[in-house]
């Protein structure tokens, strides 16, 4: 096995580029945190500072006082977790079948994935609304979860197909030779190797549902059921005017669950897939 070596300056350049990219990614989040702790006069300063001169929790107090953020966060959490679990539960066997049995089905599935990602929300929302209405699923959590599952399923399937293909078929064949049945092979050999992929896919479905705004806005009618992204828009007025401090405070809180989930599950995702599975 050959190892790709890079020279010192090239490596320094790579690290520099990586650092620049990280700064680019982190900037909006750090600015959000800074804004959330700034008092109103500092928010309106011509010379904004990274670290608030006079940090305050007023924006958080105001945000929680004005809007039911906790209830909205709970609604979002329930919808996002449910959508993620159902999406991986449905997508995993589908992905396995599609990846292992290449042919027209796999091509059709891939085509469906590509096409489904091209539809803008506004195009599908009205027929979807009518269907859900007929099913009495307007203004209901299950209705919203159903939409999120359908919406994230194609991409989840696509992701998982890649993970399934990365599991060598030889492993399953070896298990079969050793006398394991089909189900036993899937449960004891293939499934454990797919765990990082399933976790990554679930994360994708979770984050998609957690951040989703438009479906929640249109499908949920009563304030008690509104999700966090919908409630966040209540800090916005006409023509883009915003109650910036409370909005930043609420938005900061809204990013925390995603970060926590990533932090907790990171090892699951990055932990060497197939580590020790194949002797070289």
The correct pick among 81, 160, 209, 254 for binding other proteins (CB under 8 A) is 81
Q: How many residues bind other proteins (CB under 8 A)?
A: 57
The correct pick among 94, 97, 125, 207 for binding other proteins (CB under 8 A) is 125
**Pattern 175-204, other proteins, x by CB under 8 A:** ------------xx--x-------------
Q: Does 136 help bind other proteins (rule: CB under 8 A)?
A: yes
* Six token digits for residue 12: 């320094």
Q: Does 123 help bind other proteins (rule: CB under 8 A)?
A: no
Q: Does 9 help bind other proteins (rule: CB under 8 A)?
A: no
Nearer residue to other proteins within complex by CB, 102 or 133: 133
Q: Does 120 help bind other proteins (rule: CB under 8 A)?
A: no
Q: Does 130 help bind other proteins (rule: CB under 8 A)?
A: yes
The correct pick among 235, 248, 249, 257 for binding other proteins (CB under 8 A) is 235
Q: Does 239 help bind other proteins (rule: CB under 8 A)?
A: yes
Q: Does 49 help bind other proteins (rule: CB under 8 A)?
A: no
Nearer residue to other proteins within complex by CB, 109 or 212: 212
CB of 110 to other proteins, least distance (A): 28
SS3 letters across the chain = CCCCCCCHHHHHHHHHHHHHHHHHHHHHHHHHHHHHCCCHHHHCCCCCCCCCCCCCCHHHHHHHHHCCHHHHHHHHHHHHHHHHHHHHHHHHHHHHHHHHCCCHHHHHHHHHHHHHHHCCHHHHHHHHHHHHHHCCCCCCHHHHHHHHHHHHHHHHHHHHHHHHHHCCHHHHHHHHHCCCCHHHHHHHHHHHHHHHHHHHHHHHHHHHHHHCCHHHHHHCCCHHHCCHHHHHHHHECHHHCECHHHHHHHHHHHHHHHHHHHHHHHHHHHCCCCCCCCCC
The correct pick among 25, 46, 118, 264 for binding other proteins (CB under 8 A) is 46
Binding residues (CB under 8 A) for other proteins: these are 40-41, 43-48, 62, 66, 78-79, 81-82, 85-86, 89, 122, 125-126, 129-130, 133, 136-145, 187-188, 191, 213-214, 217-218, 221-223, 225, 230, 233-244
């Amino acid at each position: 096995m050959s190892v790709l070596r890079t020279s010192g300056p090239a490596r320094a350049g790579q690290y520099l580029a990586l650092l620049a990219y990280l700064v680019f990614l982190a900037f909006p989040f750090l600015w959000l945190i800074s804004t959330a702790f700034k008092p109103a006069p500092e928010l309106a300063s011509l010379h904004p500072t990274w670290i608030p001169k006079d940090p305050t929790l007023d924006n958080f107090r105001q945000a929680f006082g004005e809007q039911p953020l906790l209830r909205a966060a709970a609604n979002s959490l329930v919808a996002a977790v449910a959508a993620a679990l159902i999406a991986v539960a449905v997508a995993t066997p589908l992905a396995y079948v599609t990846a292992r049995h290449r042919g027209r089905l796999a091509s059709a599935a891939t085509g469906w994935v590509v096409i489904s990602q091209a539809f803008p929300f506004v195009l599908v929302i009205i027929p979807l609304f009518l269907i859900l209405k007929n099913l009495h699923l307007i203004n209901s959590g299950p209705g919203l979860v159903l939409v999120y599952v359908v919406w994230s399923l194609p991409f989840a399937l696509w992701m998982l197909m890649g993970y399934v293909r990365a599991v060598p078929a030889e492993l399953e064949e070896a298990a079969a030779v050793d006398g394991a049945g089909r189900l036993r092979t899937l449960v004891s050999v293939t499934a454990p190797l797919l765990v990082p992929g399933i976790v990554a896919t679930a994360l994708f479905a979770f984050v998609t549902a957690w951040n989703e705004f438009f479906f929640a806005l249109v499908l949920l009618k009563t304030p008690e059921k509104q999700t966090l992204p919908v409630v966040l828009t209540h800090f916005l007025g006409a023509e883009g005017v915003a109650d910036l401090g409370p909005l930043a405070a609420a938005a900061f809180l809204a990013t925390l669950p995603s970060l926590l989930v990533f932090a907790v599950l990171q090892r699951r995702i990055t932990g060497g897939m197939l580590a020790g599975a194949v002797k070289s």
